[in-house]
Amino acid sequence: MQTTVFCANDSEKLAAAGALLRGGGLVAIPTETVYGLACSAFRPEAVSRVFAAKGRPSDNPLIVHICELSQLSLLWAEIPPEALRLAEAFWPGPLTMIARKHPSVPDEVTGGLDTVAVRFPSHPAARAVIAAAGVPLAAPSANLSGSPSPTSAAHVCRDLSGRIEMILDGGDCDFGVESTVLDLTRTPFAVLRPGSVTPEMLRSHIPDVITDPAVLRPLAEGEAARSPGMKYRHYAPNCPVIALSGPGAGSAQYIRANRREGDAVLCFEEYLRTFADCPSVSYGREKDAADLARGLYASLRLLDGGGHARIFAQCPPLSEEYLAVTNRLCRAAGFHILHLDEKGAEL
């Protein structure tokens, strides 16, 4: 299959993407979080093609994207009143909410669950494509399962060229990590995947929001995943990754003391020069959670396939502000994480 790449600013191409999607085609679209691989949420055969193109396990459900609140009644059996409060505060934007599904939502989208995750993206091209398609779009991240999520059209091309009809290039993504996923079907409401909308931001609207404990540790043997995505190995490089959480000065000292020939470093921008003598990539400024999130996946892609023995990753301290970045790095490290003080000693 030939994959064509168009500029996401071109209104004719956006209309063509809409028609393609209505007819069961697959289109990768820019969003404010990461690029999504979109299909009509109401065409089960197109949904199945998305799973096949990505190599995604069929029980890992997709998020459905809308461009107006009236589309919620097509997707949810009942609209929880709290969802409307949160929508008022955070939509359009990087928050996904899970509620009981409407019977007409195909099982292919939800992986057989009786709930469905919905998001209203803020990216103008994403909204324009959903509007042009005239239906809500199911869209997981537009990467091959197991590789880092794509934050540019070039990343999508590398993973999915020849497997999908169209890629819309909208430049680099603003946030760079996937949306916050909030489960509204059990109380207290729980964050199943941290993103740019932090638990603290959610709690200023719904006071008792919690973070699911499986966000920062592996599932225990026999433990049921509240989100099927928690069961699966996400991005993990071929070599061991050691996540070093704490002040940058401490993790830098630890790396200098412990690294060996063949090791590589994923570091904060402030430390890049001090690691000039080994393969090193920076992903953002230490104290800037948004900057780190924006750069993380592209930096991991740069390090990937470099034939490194191990990757040491400087990782922010554990706090809600940095939870999205820490969670992705913990997963890439197979939860191999060391907590260090400012001198590089293990806590």
Footprint on this chain of Mg ion (rule: CB under 5 A): 141
229 vs 295 by CB, closer to Mg ion: 229
- CB-CB contact of 87 with 140 (8 Å): no
What are the Cα distances from residue 274, in Å, to 222, 244, 345?
44, 17, 19
Distance CA 207, CA 98 (A): 18
As measured in angstroms, the least distance from the Cβ of 338 to ligand AMP is 26
Verify binding: residue 314, ligand AMP, rule CB under 6 A: no
Distance of CA 279 to the CA centre of its chain: 26
Q: What tokens does 324 get?
A: 């999205």
By the 8 A CB rule, do 22 and 42 touch?
Answer: no
Q: For residues 178 and 286, which CB has a smaller minimum distance to ligand AMP in the complex?
A: 178
CB of 75 to ligand AMP, least distance (A): 11
Q: Which is nearer to ligand AMP, 76 or 254 (CB)?
A: 76
Rounded to a whole number of angstroms, the CA Rg of the chain reads: 20
Examine residue 148 and tell whether it contacts ligand AMP (CB under 6 A).
Answer: no
Give the residue among 191, 207, 184, 182 at the shortest CA–CA distance from 81: 184
Residue 146 engages ligand AMP in binding (rule: CB under 6 A): no
Whether the CA torsion 138, 144, 146, 147 is positive or negative: it is negative
- Which window, 115-123, 128-136, 321-329, 335-343, contacts ligand AMP (CB under 6 A)? 115-123
Quickly count: other Cβ atoms within 10 Å of residue 289's Cβ: 22
DSSP three-state, residue 312: strand
242 and 333 in contact (C-beta within 8 Å)? yes
Site string for ligand AMP, 264-303 (x = CB under 6 A): ----------------------------------------
Smallest distance, Mg ion to C-beta of residue 265, A: 25
C-beta closer to ligand AMP: residue 61 or 284: 61
- What's the min distance (Å) between Cβ of 54 and Mg ion? 8
Alpha carbon distance 141, 103 (integer Å): 25
Report the residue number whose CB is nearest to Mg ion: 141
CA atoms within 13 A on the CB side of 336: 13
Count, residues near ligand AMP per rule CB under 6 A: 19
Note whether 106 binds ligand AMP by CB under 6 A.
no
Q: Which is nearer to ligand AMP, 112 or 262 (CB)?
A: 112
Q: Which residue is listed with tokens 């009786």? A: 114
Q: Which is nearer to ligand AMP, 67 or 340 (CB)?
A: 67
Q: Which of 29, 67, 116, 292 binds ligand AMP (CB under 6 A)?
A: 116
Judged by the rule CB under 6 A, the positions of this chain that interact with ligand AMP are 60-63, 98, 110, 113, 115-117, 140-141, 178, 181, 192-193, 227-229
